[in-house]
């Protein structure tokens, strides 16, 4: 589904990704772990197309389509969802309003009929329920006044509504208390653990992986993947640290 | 005020004097609100013709007034307002200016806290594209003895193109102690992080920009009696410059 080959990227002319290769097939959940500054968030932003993250080499395709030929909104329509480590607050714009426009823009891009107001609200309510989030919160301005945990749950609700093929979730577990971590983990499983979908979890800790069991774990260090393994690799990292395991 | 002002007059420094000459002299619209009474009005300049309005509002003790302005559409649009507040009076201004092309838009306010314990708040939002120039000059005067004054100004301008100009000048003139006056003033462009966030969810750039500008401009009309109609008129003007 997602095929990354020898990806190199710079931020403010500084090389961050230095030849990263990774293949994620449909139905798989991958986790990328690694020390601070390894390039984990850069990977997410580069795939999402954030301005300022420049691809200087390598390729990335989603179901054969060259991601780097697409604008950020076209990548979203192609099925790529990026869960933000720090979701942005947008005063005056409600979740419901912008998500309906976003969902319909994506559907239009794929040649599908738009959702009516009623259909959209029904869908939003269902996904909010999955994340135990009150529907009223989605009528509020995007992330404004939300706690860290609420922002992350709202990210997962958006993922549920937009129904992507692949979700790249950047430290979805940071800032969550134990209950919210479980709710988010269960949400990810309910929405994304399907034969035709895939997930790339970017995380520092094993704890999210207790709820969302990865099929593969990779260690990212110095801008490339230095070690790959099964779920046991995450436990090994937790016990011995990145330096010992990735050495 | 019969002679046409010159640029030496601070309140006319950025005015389109040639356009103003055709409209001069401006009749002053005098609004007086008696002690304890409340009033509200809205001025909408969104026609094709140049327009300038000069408004004077005098609030008696404990009186309240809510003024909303929409300055958009014409090649030259100017609204000047002078407000004098009695003891414990309250004044709120919500103003939006939208200009594109070669348009010049300006709003000039002077709010005088003449007596103690009056409250004024002003929210001004400008969106400027093309080679348009938008000006907001906002002066707050706190007279000697006007203790307990609470004056607040929030002034923000958004530039859609590097060729547009925003002049924003908040000004405080305080002759009393024990007053609270705050102002925030910012001229900028749309937040790139927010635009990327919206794009990542699938919104095309033009729609993301529009959504954010709508929210920005709508702040001027929050809580207005005719909030919906004013917001709608502003959004229509906004879409015309996008």
Residue-wise pLDDT tens digits, B98-137: 999 999 999 999 999 999 999 999 999 999 999 999 999 9
Residue-wise pLDDT tens digits, B62-102: 999 999 999 997 899 999 999 999 999 999 999 999 999 99
- The mean of the pLDDT values for chain B is 94
Does the beta-carbon distance from A76 to B200 stay under 8 Å?
yes
What ipTM did this prediction achieve?
0.94
CATH classification at residue A110: 3.40.50.300
Does the beta-carbon distance from B203 to A103 stay under 8 Å?
no
Does the beta-carbon distance from A48 to B212 stay under 8 Å?
no
Residue-wise pLDDT tens digits, A159-214: 999 999 999 999 999 889 899 999 999 999 999 999 999 999 999 888 899 999 99
Residues of B in contact with A162 (CB under 8 A): 201-202
Least CB-CB distance to B211: which of A88, A101, A103? A101
Least CB-CB distance to A102: which of B191, B201, B205? B201
Residue B223, Cβ density class (10 Å: 0-12 exposed, 13-18 middle, ≥19 buried): exposed
* Chain A closest-CA separation from residue B229 CA (Å): 17
Mutate one of A87, A105, A112 to test the B interface: name it (highest B CB count within 10 A): A105
Q: Where are the domains of chain B?
A: 10-189
Least CB-CB distance to B202: which of A50, A105, A141? A105
Average pLDDT over residues A89-109: 91
What total number of domains does chain A contain? 1
Least CB-CB distance to A92: which of B196, B201, B218? B218
Residue-wise pLDDT tens digits, A217-232: 999 999 999 999 999 9
Judged by a CB distance cut-off of 8 A, whether residue A101 touches chain B is: yes
A46-55, A212-221, B15-24, range with the lowest pLDDT: B15-24
Confidence of residue A247 (pLDDT cuts 50, 70, 90): low
Does the beta-carbon distance from A82 to B200 stay under 8 Å?
yes
Residue-wise pLDDT tens digits, A6-16: 999 999 999 99
Residue-wise pLDDT tens digits, B121-178: 999 999 999 999 999 999 999 999 999 999 999 999 999 999 999 999 999 999 999 9
Residue A11, Cβ density class (10 Å: 0-12 exposed, 13-18 middle, ≥19 buried): middle
Average pLDDT over residues B10-27: 90
Rounded to two decimals, what is the model's pTM? 0.87
Expressed as residue numbers, the domain containing A208 is: 2-246
Does the beta-carbon distance from A103 to B219 stay under 8 Å?
no
């Amino acid at each position: 589904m997602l095929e990354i080959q020898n990806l190199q990227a710079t931020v403010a002319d500084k090389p961050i990704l230095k030849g990263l290769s990774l293949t994620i097939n449909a139905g798989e959940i991958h986790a990328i772990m690694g020390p601070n500054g390894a390039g984990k968030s850069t990977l997410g932003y580069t795939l999402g197309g954030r301005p300022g993250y420049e691809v200087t080499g390598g390729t990335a395709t989603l179901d054969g389509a060259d991601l780097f030929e697409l604008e950020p909104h076209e990548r979203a329509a192609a099925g790529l969802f990026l869960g933000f480590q720090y979701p942005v607050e947008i005063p005056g714009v409600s979740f419901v309003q912008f998500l309906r426009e976003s969902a319909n823009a994506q559907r239009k891009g794929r040649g599908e009929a738009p959702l009516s107001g009623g259909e959209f609200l029904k869908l939003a309510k269902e996904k909010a329920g999955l994340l135990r989030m009150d529907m009223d919160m989605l009528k509020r301005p995007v992330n404004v006044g939300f706690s860290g945990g609420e922002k992350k749950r709202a990210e997962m609700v958006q993922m549920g509504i937009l129904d992507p093929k692949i979700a790249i979730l950047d430290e979805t577990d940071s800032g969550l208390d134990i209950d919210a971590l479980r709710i988010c983990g269960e949400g990810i499983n309910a929405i994304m653990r399907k034969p035709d979908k895939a997930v790339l979890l970017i995380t520092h800790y094993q704890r999210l992986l207790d709820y969302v069991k990865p099929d593969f774990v990779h260690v990212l260090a110095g801008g490339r993947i230095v070690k790959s393994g099964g779920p046991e690799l995450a436990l090994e990292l937790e016990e011995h640290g990145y330096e010992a395991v990735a050495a | 005020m019969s002679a046409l002002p010159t640029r030496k007059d601070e309140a006319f420094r950025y005015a389109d004097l040639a356009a103003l000459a055709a409209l001069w002299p401006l009749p002053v619209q005098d609004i007086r609100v008696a002690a304890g009474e409340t009033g509200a009005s809205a001025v909408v300049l969104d026609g094709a013709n140049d327009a300038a309005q000069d408004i004077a509002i005098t609030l008696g003790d404990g009186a309240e007034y809510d003024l909303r302005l929409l300055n958009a559409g014409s090649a030259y649009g100017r609204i000047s307002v002078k407000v004098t507040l009695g003891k414990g009076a309250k004044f709120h201004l919500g103003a939006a200016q939208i200009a594109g092309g070669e348009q010049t838009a300006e709003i000039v306010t002077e709010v005088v806290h003449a007596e103690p314990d009056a409250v004024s708040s002003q929210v001004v939002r400008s969106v400027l594209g093309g080679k348009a120039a938008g000006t907001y000059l906002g002066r707050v005067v706190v007279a000697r003895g006007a203790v307990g004054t609470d004056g607040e100004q929030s002034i923000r301008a958004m530039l859609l193109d590097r060729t547009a100009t925003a002049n924003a000048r908040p000004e405080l003139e305080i002759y009393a102690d024990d007053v609270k006056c705050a102002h925030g003033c910012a001229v900028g462009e749309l937040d790139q992080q927010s635009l990327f966030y919206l794009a990542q969810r699938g919104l095309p750039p033009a729609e993301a920009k529009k959504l954010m500008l709508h929210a920005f401009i709508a702040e001027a009309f929050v809580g207005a009696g005719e909030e919906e109609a004013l917001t709608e008129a502003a959004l229509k003007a906004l879409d015309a410059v996008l």
